[in-house]
Structure 1
C-alpha cells in the first residue's frame, strides 16, 4: 500500500486538542504528499468562507470518508476550481461521506449508500432537508462509485487521521433533477419522461405530472423502461382519461420518502402516491416490485440518484389503477413527520441499524 509511512505519521496526532485550522492545514499537506495536488488546492480554499470553515470543523471530529479525485481526474473534467467558491465547496461536499464503513461495501449488484455533506438547497431537495447520498458497490476489481450513469473506480486507499481517503479516477457529478435524469438515454427511460410531461394535472392545466414529481421533496420513482412503456397496451387505452393515468403512474411513486435499494429487503412497508401498498420479493434473478399484488416488475437498475430522490428502473409497467386517497394522504403526512426528525446517518443508508446523531 502506498503512503504507508505517511499514514503512520498522520495517525499519531489524531484530533487531540488541535483546531480545525490545524486539521485543515495537515489535510492539505497530506493530500499534496499523496500526489493529490489539485484536490489539495481546492481543499485549502475551505478556509476562505464561513461555510467552508464549518466543513473543515466538521471533518476534524468523528469519522469520514473522502472520495478523492486524482490529478488526472480533475484535468479530464470541465471544472474551474477558481471561478466560483460555492460551486467548489458543493463539489467537495459531495465527495465527503459521513462515517467510515467502506469495509461493509456490498458486492454488485447490491449497492451501498452513504450520506454526504452536500446539502445546498439549490442542488438537493430531499425530504427533511437531508443531505445527498453517494452510491457505490464492490466489483471484481474493488470498489466503484455509481455516478450519473457511469462507474468511477477507486484506484488507491490511504488514511489521514480520522479520514479514510479513497482515490478515484474521475470527478463525481452531483445528481441532476428528475426531469434531466429521466431524459438521460443511459437509463433507458426517456419514453417515460415524455409520457409524464404530456399529462396535465387537472387542478392546474399548466402543470404536468413530470413537473409535479420534479418539484417534490423526497420521491421514489419505479420507472418503467422504454420497452415496458412501448408494450403496455393499457397506457394507450387510458390516454383520454387523465385521472386514470395519474392513478396508474401514482402507483409507481413513493411520495415524501426516498427509498434506496438496501431498504427493499429489511421488512419495510411502503405506500404509493395513489395509496396502494408496494410489495417486494427477491430471488436468484434479482429484486422485484409489485403494487397491490398486481404484476411483478424486475428492478433492472436501482439507485439512480436525483436531486430530490431516487429512481429504480423496472422492466414492466405496474398494472394498478386503483386509488386510496385516505391511505395516500396519511402516508405522506407520516413521512413528513418522520422527515422532520432529522438525524445524521454515519453508517450505510437504508440498512438498520445505523448510528445516528441528533441534528
Structure 2
C-alpha cells in the first residue's frame, strides 16, 4: 500500500505536472515536515509574477533548499508579510542550483553553490551572476557559513527534485563591502579604515568607494594585527600612489575568486598588475603577490554583495605596478564573465573534476 502511494506521488512529475501542482506539493511537504512558516512563505510565491517564475524554476532540474525551521523564523527579525520582493529575495538566497552536498569536503575546505538570488539591488557580481552560498562539513555534519556565524543542518528530507536541508537560522544575504569589513567578527576593521583614507584622484572618491561599486571583486584583507605590525604602511602614508599600488596588490578586479580557486594551476593578476601565487601545506593555504612574502589565509570566503574577502595574517609587501597587465586581466575577466553559464555543481570547481551531477 505504501509503495503504491509513493508511486502515485511521483506520477505527476513523470507525466508533466504544472508548476502550480508542483508548488502545492512542495508546500504540503514542508507543512508535513513541520516547516509551517516556510511553507506559508512558499505558498505566497503564487501571488506575484516573480514568485511564479521562481516556482517554475524549481519545478525542473535539481535543487538544494536550505530550509529554516519555525524556531529560526521566530528568532529572526525577518517579516514575511511586509514586502513581497524582500521575501522572494530571502527565499531565493536559500535555494542552490544543483544537488551536490554529498560532495562537501571537511572544514576548513568550503563548498560553494550558486543560489537563485540575482536581485540587482542586492547582488553586484560580475556577469550579473547570482549570489553564492558557502557551507562545509564538520564533526557534527553539514553547516552553512553565514555572516560570521555557522548555521548547522539539523535535519534532511526531499521533495521530488529538491534536497531539503533543515537549518536552525534564517540566512542573511551578503552585505556590501563596507558593512562586511566593519563587522568585527572578521577582524579586518583596520583595512576598512585604510581603504577609506586612500583617495583616487581620477574619481574624486576613496579606494573603498571604488571597491564598493565594483562588479566582481576579490580582496585579500590583512587582519587588524597584520595592519598594526606592518611598518611599511606608515612609511608609505605620505605617498598616496604607493598606497594605491600596495593595496591594489591585495585585490583581483573583475573576478570573484572563491577558495576552491586557490590552486597552482589558476593564474590571477592583481588590480596593480602583479601575479598572485598560492601554495598549500600542512599548516594551511598561503598567498603571495609577485614573489613577495607569503600570507596565510586565516578565513576564506567572506561573502559580499559584489565579491568575496579572504582574511590573511600579513600584509603582502608588494608596491610594484604593471598597468598593461592589470588592464589586460580586467578585460579578460569581463569577457569571461559575459559568457558565464549558471553552475549546477560546486562553484570554482572544474566541471571535469565534478563527476556524477
TM-score bracket for the superposition, by shorter chain length = over 0.9
1:255 aligns to what? 253
Tell me the SS of whatever aligns to 1:343. coil
Confirm or deny: 8 A CA contact 1:266 1:351 kept in the other structure.
Answer: no
Confirm or deny: 8 A CA contact 1:346 1:354 kept in the other structure.
Answer: no
Distance in 2 of aligned mates of 1:309 and 1:300: 18
The alpha carbon displacement at 1:5 in A equals 11
- In structure 2, relative to structure 1, the CA distance for the partners of 1:195 and 1:208 (3 Å cut) is same
1:43 aligns to what? 42
- In structure 2, relative to structure 1, the CA distance for the partners of 1:192 and 1:15 (3 Å cut) is farther
* 1:154 and 2:153 are equivalent in the alignment: yes
1:122-271 alignment, distance < 5 Å: 122-205=121-204, 207-265=205-263, 267-271=265-269
Tell me the SS of whatever aligns to 1:320. coil
Tell me the SS of whatever aligns to 1:240. coil
1:292 to 280, 290, 311: 290
Q: Deviating runs (4+, > 6 A) in structure 1?
A: 4-9
Confirm or deny: 8 A CA contact 2:264 2:279 kept in the other structure.
Answer: no
Distance in 1 of aligned mates of 2:151 and 2:201: 43
1:280 aligns to what? 278
Confirm or deny: 8 A CA contact 2:226 2:315 kept in the other structure.
Answer: yes
Tell me the SS of whatever aligns to 1:272. coil
Distance in 2 of aligned mates of 1:183 and 1:8: 53
Distance in 2 of aligned mates of 1:63 and 1:316: 41
Distance in 1 of aligned mates of 2:282 and 2:50: 47
- In structure 2, relative to structure 1, the CA distance for the partners of 1:94 and 1:334 (3 Å cut) is same
Distance in 2 of aligned mates of 1:241 and 1:15: 67
Tell me the SS of whatever aligns to 1:345. coil
- In structure 2, relative to structure 1, the CA distance for the partners of 1:11 and 1:348 (3 Å cut) is farther
Confirm or deny: 8 A CA contact 1:15 1:161 kept in the other structure.
Answer: no
1:68-121 superposed Cα distances (whole Å, 9 cap, x missing partner): 000000000001100100000000000000000000011000000000000000
- In structure 2, relative to structure 1, the CA distance for the partners of 1:146 and 1:232 (3 Å cut) is same
1:294-347 superposed Cα distances (whole Å, 9 cap, x missing partner): 000000000000000000000000000000000000000000011000301000
Confirm or deny: 8 A CA contact 2:301 2:310 kept in the other structure.
Answer: yes
1:321 aligns to what? 319
Confirm or deny: 8 A CA contact 1:127 1:336 kept in the other structure.
Answer: yes
1:32-74 superposed Cα distances (whole Å, 9 cap, x missing partner): 0010000000001111111111110010000000000000000
1:237-282 superposed Cα distances (whole Å, 9 cap, x missing partner): 0001100000000000000000000011261100000000000000
TM superposition score normalised by structure 2: 0.96
* 1:70 and 2:81 are equivalent in the alignment: no
- In structure 2, relative to structure 1, the CA distance for the partners of 1:130 and 1:161 (3 Å cut) is same
TM superposition score normalised by structure 1: 0.95
- In structure 2, relative to structure 1, the CA distance for the partners of 1:310 and 1:84 (3 Å cut) is same
1:57 aligns to what? 56
Tell me the SS of whatever aligns to 2:342. strand
Confirm or deny: 8 A CA contact 2:264 2:277 kept in the other structure.
Answer: no
- In structure 2, relative to structure 1, the CA distance for the partners of 1:190 and 1:242 (3 Å cut) is same
RMSD over aligned Cα atoms: 1.7
The alpha carbon displacement at 1:11 in A equals 4.8
Tell me the SS of whatever aligns to 1:157. strand
The alpha carbon displacement at 1:16 in A equals 3.1
1:145-174 superposed Cα distances (whole Å, 9 cap, x missing partner): 000000000000010000000000100000
- In structure 2, relative to structure 1, the CA distance for the partners of 1:28 and 1:81 (3 Å cut) is same
Confirm or deny: 8 A CA contact 1:127 1:257 kept in the other structure.
Answer: yes
1:10-42 superposed Cα distances (whole Å, 9 cap, x missing partner): 556435310111100110011000100000000
